[in-house]
Amino acid sequence: MIVIMLSEACTPADRRRIIDLVQFAGTGLRVHTPELLSLSGDRDAIRALLSDEPCVLDIAKLPAAYPRSARLHGRPDCTPVTLGESSIGGPGFTVVAGPCSVENRSQLLTTAEAVRAAGAHALRAGAFKPRTSPYSFHGLGVPGLRLLAEAREVTGLPVVSECVDVRDIEVMASSVDMIQIGARNMQNYTLLREAGRTRVPVLLKRGLAATLDELLLACEYLLDGGNEQVVLCERGIRTFETSYRFTLDVAAVPVLKERTHLPVIVDPSHAAGAKGRVVPLALAAAAAGADGIILESHHDPATALCDGAQALPVEELPALMERLGHACAAAGRTMRAATPARAR
């Protein structure tokens, strides 16, 4: 991407003439501000063309539409992101598990302890739930965050939870180890901007009709704010097929790995929509080279307040962990070491 910077003295007529000139030499002219033009094309050709224009201050070449997220020459293949005392990205595979939502103390602690005992690495659970209907359960809110803090204290597991309101960013940042920005908010730029101002790791889920480039551009909002701790998450896209809830786009894993240095994980639960399909999708994600998975698990799915149908019973987690080990081996990885039990 070529960016042309104009001086403040640039008149509309100057601007118009420059636009006419560059439209012969480039494509996809996108005018950003009165002081900035951007387009695709050859920088030298554009430079030559505009050499006599006094109000052109500079002609720069950005390495990509998302310069901070892009996997560029000289950058590592994958920049690990902190998750409590552990991390996501690198040779180890990370498993985040837990219920769709925090329902009550006993449900959360029972599930969290089972997640830890199975060898998973972090706990997920929503205190604030975005729901399609205004008449559905929307989460416990701040009391849910307090229960999450307790679960972390008891199990030693770091905690991932979703933020749905820009006004909650501060309380989230002080309560959880990783803030999730969900699929429906992937292009809620206000929320992205504010999360980008914190230094708390962010898990950014792909919108259900977002292209991979749009996901990387949304991510760029976070990085542009100075927060470099971002994990991307494929969670299924919307297609014509109605046999399941969303179409898990497993090819997103290798394609994102080509384009970005940030870790990429997969949520197999929302796409599956039904328990029996979660394990095959989790294994597929690991075999395709994901840095981890985040899945819904519950100690009693039949009574779950949301998404019970797709929750893996916690007693099936140990078998999944073992099978994930084989799938990781296919991808040339190993399972990350488990979080040790807390001494009490």
CB of 291 to a copy of itself, least distance (A): 13
- Residue with smaller CB distance to a copy of itself, 40 or 136: 136
Question: Which C-beta is closer to a copy of itself: that of 51 or that of 133?
Answer: 133
CB 157 within 8 A of CB 184: no
CB of 94 to a copy of itself, least distance (A): 17
Closest approach, Cβ 260 to a copy of itself, in A, equals 12
CB 126 within 8 Å of CB 162: yes
Q: What tokens does 15 get?
A: 């601007």
Nearer to a copy of itself, 42 or 85 (CB): 42
CA nearest neighbour of 96 among 228, 260, 290, 273: 290
Tell me which residue has tokens 């939870």: 161
Query: Which residue, 209 or 337, has its beta carbon nearer to a copy of itself?
Result: 209
Structure-token pair, residue 53: 């224009």
* Alpha carbon distance 162, 176 (integer Å): 9
Q: Is-contact 110 299, C-beta < 8 A?
A: yes
* Residue 239 vs 342, nearer CB to a copy of itself: 239
Cα angle, residue 125 at apex, residues 144 and 143 outer, rounded to 5°: 0
Q: What's the sign of the alpha-carbon dihedral 280, 203, 192, 273?
A: positive
Q: Tell me how far, at minimum, the Cβ of 40 lies from a copy of itself, in Å.
A: 13
What's the min distance (Å) between Cβ of 84 and a copy of itself? 27
